[in-house]
A and B are shown apart, each in its own frame.
Chain A
Amino acid sequence: MEKELTAWERLKIVHNPKRPNAYDLINGVFENYYEFQGDGYFGEDKAITAGIASFQKLPVTVIANLKGKNLEENKLFNFSMAHPEGYRKALRLSKQAEKFKRPIICFIDITGAFCGVDAEKRGQGQAIAKNIMEFMNLKTPIISIITGEGGSGGALGLGVCDELAMFENAVYSVISPRGAASILWKDPKKEEEAANTMKVTAKDMLNFKVADFIIKEPAKGADKDHVLMCENVVDYLIGALKRNLQKNVAMLLESRYNKFRKIGIFGE
């Protein structure tokens, strides 16, 4: 039997620049992707791509964090670090999805929401908060998939959903390992130790009932075989959509609420 990979080893796989990004997944999983731009208030944020597409003939709304394959793309996508406009675009198109009763599929792969003066001025915190609250009430199924990094609040802006799936090597965390090391041990060099201590892997999330499903990756990582990775996503989505489209709106909203209501460990 193969030895279980550590969180740190998985992070290395996740950071491989050949790992499929949102465009690779969208093109492999859907047909006819039409990208819509703009938050309708202030700007267009290329760190999040969103639009409509066809999944096995079913119209769906797709929202995804974007990571670049090279420096030029990474500059354009701001290394996946979304501004408030990205979250507001996501919300605008989620409301559009709700109006037309289209399911929403989110691909999460974000280091973290952007930290900067302008992002603060335009309400980064408020933008994420609004998404959390509004996503909780959207009257249409939401399936979120963490494909790489689920970086903190930035991930949660697309992370309130009916089902959360994670790629086998993906991680979900309250802070980056480096951030954890420097805050907890005042030593950013201890990031490997931090990664392995913080319990961030897909398996951990499944144990904690934060994630509902793990999507298998090709041997040694999704970067090795994009086609197979996309096929695994398609297989998962067919089931997830059938499961959640069956529920009537009241059931859907109640189970979404309970999914998050239950989370927390305490004694009394």
Chain B
Amino acid sequence: MKDLFKVVKRRIENNNKKGAVGKKANIPHNLLFKCSRCQTSIFMEEFEAAGNVCTKCNYHARIGALKRLKMTADEGSFEEYDENLTTKNPIDFPGYEEKIKKFQNSTKLKEAIITGECTIRGEKTVIGIMDSFFMMGSMGSVVGEKIVRAFERATEKKLPVILFTASGGARMQEGIFSLMQMVKTSAAVSKHSKEGLFYCAVLTDPTTGGVTASFASLADVTLAEPKVLVGFAGRRVIESTILKRLPDEFQSAEFLQEHGFVDMIVNRKNLRHVLNQLLIFHKQGEIEKWKKS
């Protein structure tokens, strides 16, 4: 048993080392993109031209919320909700305010999600986009509150909701307040759903922890981008619990689909079309119209 542990430990360390070598390669890292799924390095230019997609294995890498909004919503159609909600430090976590400021500067966002209303090829919807570059897209009070308000407005206005999820999970720095956001967001999804309204989740890289265990898993239709990481517990945590190295495709969108949790895997370049079609399918009153025809 001890030996087994050693073998596994060595493998995990080797694995980590491999990653570390890649990072320390001599080529300036902003010239190359190193794919976290297939470990291939490709030129940044090629990677960006493909819409931040690995041209070798089709892994759909992270993109910021503003870029995502631009590639999803009709130009000029976005009206932001609750842009002025501000983050407090509910458990007086040391250095939290500074950390928030740092990410506000680097991402040009106030928090890890933007919410609002937009049209997608003319179809109106409420939209929320999480940003993994803002503190790993972690969910604290502001993220939770913005999601809840987005669902509440959608319920009031009888609009669908599209959420792009990207999150490391609950935000440790807000303690129990973060955990409780899982409850209020899920409850808001339920109220919206009970009115017969449509909610589509788009799982993007990475969707994990408390976000997977709440609103990200409760959509009517769940889409995912190819090869993205989706799961509850972190890979390392599981590996050290079961003392086994996990297969590379573990917790990928494809792995999830095989196990019954993803409706469709959609390439980024096709997302706008698919979302538009799903919005049309779920438009209110289409069935009444047909009956009268």
Tell me the bound Cα distance from A44 to B259 in angstroms: 6
At the interface, yes or no: B196 with Cβ under 8 Å from chain A?
Answer: yes
A to B contact number (C-beta, < 8 Å)? 68
Residues of B within 8 Å of A100, CB to CB, are 196, 198, 220, 282
Q: Interface stretch among A35-43, A108-116, A129-137, A197-205?
A: A35-43
At the interface, yes or no: A85 with Cβ under 8 Å from chain B?
Answer: yes
Tell me whether A40 and B290 are in contact (CB under 8 A).
no
Task: Write the chain A residue with the least CB distance to B217.
Answer: A40
At the interface, yes or no: B238 with Cβ under 8 Å from chain A?
Answer: no
At the interface, yes or no: A246 with Cβ under 8 Å from chain B?
Answer: yes
At the interface, yes or no: B286 with Cβ under 8 Å from chain A?
Answer: yes
Residue in A37, A40, A96 whose beta carbon sits within 8 Å of that of B264 in the complex: A37
Tell me whether A34 and B277 are in contact (CB under 8 A).
yes
Residues of A within 8 Å of B277, CB to CB, are 32, 34
At the interface, yes or no: B221 with Cβ under 8 Å from chain A?
Answer: yes
Residues of B within 8 Å of A99, CB to CB, are 193, 196, 220
At the interface, yes or no: B263 with Cβ under 8 Å from chain A?
Answer: yes
Tell me whether B258 and A43 are in contact (CB under 8 A).
yes
- Do A34 and B196 contact each other (CB < 8 Å), given the known contacts A59-B286, A59-B287, A99-B220? no
Residues of A within 8 Å of B257, CB to CB, are 37-38, 44
- Do A58 and B286 contact each other (CB < 8 Å), given the known contacts A34-B277, A99-B196, A246-B291? yes
At the interface, yes or no: B161 with Cβ under 8 Å from chain A?
Answer: no
Residues of B within 8 Å of A34, CB to CB, are 264, 274, 277-278, 281
Count residues on chain B whose CB falls below 8 Å from chain A CBs: 23
Q: Which residues of chain B (254-286) have a CB below 8 Å from chain A?
A: 257-264, 274, 277-278, 281-282, 286
Residues of B within 8 Å of A43, CB to CB, are 258-260
- Do A37 and B286 contact each other (CB < 8 Å), given the known contacts A32-B277, A44-B257, A96-B220? no
Q: Which residues of chain A (99-151) have a CB below 8 Å from chain B?
A: 99-103
Tell me the bound Cα distance from A43 to B261 in angstroms: 8
Instruction: Give the size category of A's interface with B.
Output: 20 to 34
Tell me whether B259 and A38 are in contact (CB under 8 A).
yes
Tell me whether B281 and A38 are in contact (CB under 8 A).
no
Residues of A within 8 Å of B286, CB to CB, are 57-59
Residues of B within 8 Å of A38, CB to CB, are 257, 259-263
Tell me whether A52 and B281 are in contact (CB under 8 A).
yes
- Do A41 and B196 contact each other (CB < 8 Å), given the known contacts A34-B277, A58-B290, A59-B287? no
Q: Which residues of chain B (90-147) have a CB below 8 Å from chain A?
A: none
Tell me the bound Cα distance from A102 to B262 in angstroms: 21
Task: Write the chain B residue with the least CB distance to A38.
Answer: B260
Residue from B198, B263, B286 having most chain A Cβ neighbours under 10 A: B263
Tell me the bound Cα distance from A89 to B193 in angstroms: 19
At the interface, yes or no: A54 with Cβ under 8 Å from chain B?
Answer: yes
Tell me the bound Cα distance from A34 to B280 in angstroms: 12
Tell me the bound Cα distance from A242 to B259 in angstroms: 37
Tell me the bound Cα distance from A37 to B266 in angstroms: 13
CB of B114, distance to nearest CB on chain A (Å):
27
At the interface, yes or no: A234 with Cβ under 8 Å from chain B?
Answer: no
Q: Which residues of chain B (166-217) have a CB below 8 Å from chain A?
A: 193, 196, 198
Q: Which residues of chain A (53-102) have a CB below 8 Å from chain B?
A: 54, 56-59, 85, 89, 96, 99-102
Tell me whether B260 and A245 are in contact (CB under 8 A).
no
Residue in B196, B262, B281, B293 whose beta carbon sits within 8 Å of that of A37 in the complex: B262
Q: Can you spell out 5 A-B residue pairs with CB atoms less than 8 angstroms apart?
A: A38-B259, A40-B261, A52-B281, A100-B282, A245-B291
User: What residues of chain B have their CB less than 8 Å away from a CB belonging to chain A?
Assistant: 193, 196, 198, 220-221, 257-264, 274, 277-278, 281-282, 286-287, 290-291, 293
A-B interface, 5 closest residue pairs, ranked by CB to CB distance from nearest = A38-B260, A36-B263, A58-B290, A39-B260, A43-B260
